[in-house]
Amino acid sequence: MSFSHISRFVLWGSIGFIFGVGLVFSFTISLDVALFFIIIIIISTVFIFLRKTWLWCFVFFCLLASVGMIVGNNTLERIHYIEGNTGNIETGRAIVIRDIVQKGWNTSVILKYESGTTVMIKDKKYTELTYGSVVDLRCRMSLPDTYDNFDYHKYLVMSGIDYICSDFTYEIIDHKSTILSNLAQFRSHMESVIDNIIPAPEAGLANGLLFGGSNKLSKKLQNQFAKTGMTHIVAVSGYNVSIIVMVAMGFAIFIGMHRKYAIWFAIMGVIFFVALIGFPSSGVRAAIMGILVLVATIYGRVSHVYGAIFFTAAIMIAFNPLLLNYDVGFQLSFLATLGIVSVYPLMERGFVNRKTIFGIIDTLLLTISAQLFVMPIIAYHFHTVSIVSFLANVLVLPIIPFTMLFVFLTVVTSLLFYSMALFFGWISYFLLWYEVWIINDLARVPWGSITIDNISIWWFVVYYMTVGFIVYLLNRYLYEI
């Protein structure tokens, strides 16, 4: 069997697995009945069309779809088990396993019991708990409320949190030092340095660019980012990482690196970035997708690249099936990656000379490619579509790598020469001020964004089928898939 055939089986098998998981979560369907009909379809297909390659792909699709339904069904059974233990009280030793997140007057803390149960407590704002704190914890297991038909409990389970901890008491008894806890302390120190050297609100943006997250931005500025479609620059998503990878590789080649070494330079940069922010699940997924984009634009036929992307997504969903329905970051990372590898090479062929200052043309092409695929998901989840997002991305994104570099230099030099840190801090502030200014001004444009309340599922189907069909035809014509 040729590599081309294997790649085709991997692609359709991965799509089938994702389809099966989505089917279980989207519809009330008996697993036994669904598997019975799939088996009948497979047997009939095998006996009638024994030597047709594309029909064997369909058989593989059905087989993996049945596996996906089993995996999805097992996940739902686990959720029902968790719900059945609501109200129980657990007492024992637990450890803080993630960064402490301050929101308003509360602090969210994630702890894991020795029994394996993971809970979230809402502690006081200036909590004494830190990453790695070991406590004696008494907790009543509770479930969160559902907001606007959004199942918050499934979202928490997807994030690795079983229960909300109510009526809790704890006593700190120890601190367990690990690589991740040490990284968290180093990250906290870096954030403090940025806050001390760079004024607000630019400091909040600097922290968001370097470590991900918009919790240090004011609500007003967060709304401005949403209106201009720029929230992705402070989120650890495949879109953000993909842009960084491509720009980093372009920079490496520009300074004279061989393409092979430039690839490794970009990959190591992404790995270092994810390590620095503590290997969050969203960051790991974004890194994998970003590296796929890097490899996809250099090696392999388009059909092989699609197989790699869908296979990666299927593996991620196999480990955590709830990603498919409840992780917006995963959806955006997957679709942005798919958009870049599908549309970017087609648009790139139209620009023979793309060596413009700061890679503005490349950035524009990458932005359009990703936006074509993520726009419907953004509209569905955030009920808004930004008209000025293309302009905002073109004016801001080319500056982001330089901003991150100077912010990083500000932090590093503060450990040795504070006066040098102030120098880099002023350069960082100027770049950050420019980015905030652009976003604020574009957000004030009256027609800059459109509010969308309800989106039919059929709109999604028509949109993605139309875009996919056009991309398929163009790829077939240009690359002879």
Top mean pLDDT of 119-123, 241-245, 377-381 is at: 119-123
Q: Token digits for 422?
A: 């102030």
Please, what is the average pLDDT of the chain? Answer: 76
- Amino acid 208: pLDDT: 80
Query: Is pLDDT of 50 > 50?
Result: yes
What CATH class has 89-176? mainly beta
Which contiguous run of DSSP H or E holds residue 122?
Answer: strand 118-124
The segment with the largest mean pLDDT, out of 143-157, 209-223, 249-263, 403-417, is 403-417
Contact 100, 108 (CB under 8 A): yes
Give the residue-averaged pLDDT of 134-154.
81
Which segments of the chain belong to CATH 2.40.50?
89-176
Residue 315 three-state SS: helix
Cβ neighbours of residue 389 under 8 Å, at least 6 residues apart? 228, 229, 230, 371
pLDDT digits (tens, 9 = 90+) for 401-419: 778 778 888 888 887 888 8
Q: What average pLDDT does the segment 4-9 reach?
A: 67
Mean pLDDT value across residues 244-267: 74
Most confident listed range (113-117, 209-213, 465-469)? 113-117
Residue 3 CB neighbours (<10 A):
9
In terms of Cβ atoms closer than 10 Å to its own Cβ (0-12, 13-18, 19+), residue 113 is middle
What would the mean pLDDT of 285-311 be, rounded to a whole number? 67
Q: Give the helix/strand (H/E) hosting 262.
A: helix 259-276
Q: Based on C-alpha coordinates, what's the Rg of the chain?
A: 24
Identify the band that residue 54 occupies on the pLDDT scale cut at 50, 70 and 90.
low
433: confidence class by pLDDT, cuts 50, 70, 90: very high
Q: Is the pLDDT of residue 258 over 70?
A: yes
State residue 122 phi and psi, 5-degree precision. -105, 95
At residue 481, the pLDDT reads 46
Alpha-carbon distance of 97 to 85, in angstroms, equals 22
Mean pLDDT within 327-333: 78
Question: For residue 122, is pLDDT > 80?
Answer: yes
Is residue 411 within 8 Å of residue 193, measured between CB atoms?
A: yes
**3-class state of residue 23 by DSSP:** helix
**Model confidence over 455-466: pLDDT tens digits?**
777 777 788 888
| Band of pLDDT at residue 431, cut at 50, 70 and 90 | very high
Residues 154-202: tens digit of each pLDDT: 888 888 888 888 888 888 888 877 776 777 777 777 888 888 888 888 8
Name the residue type at position 209. L
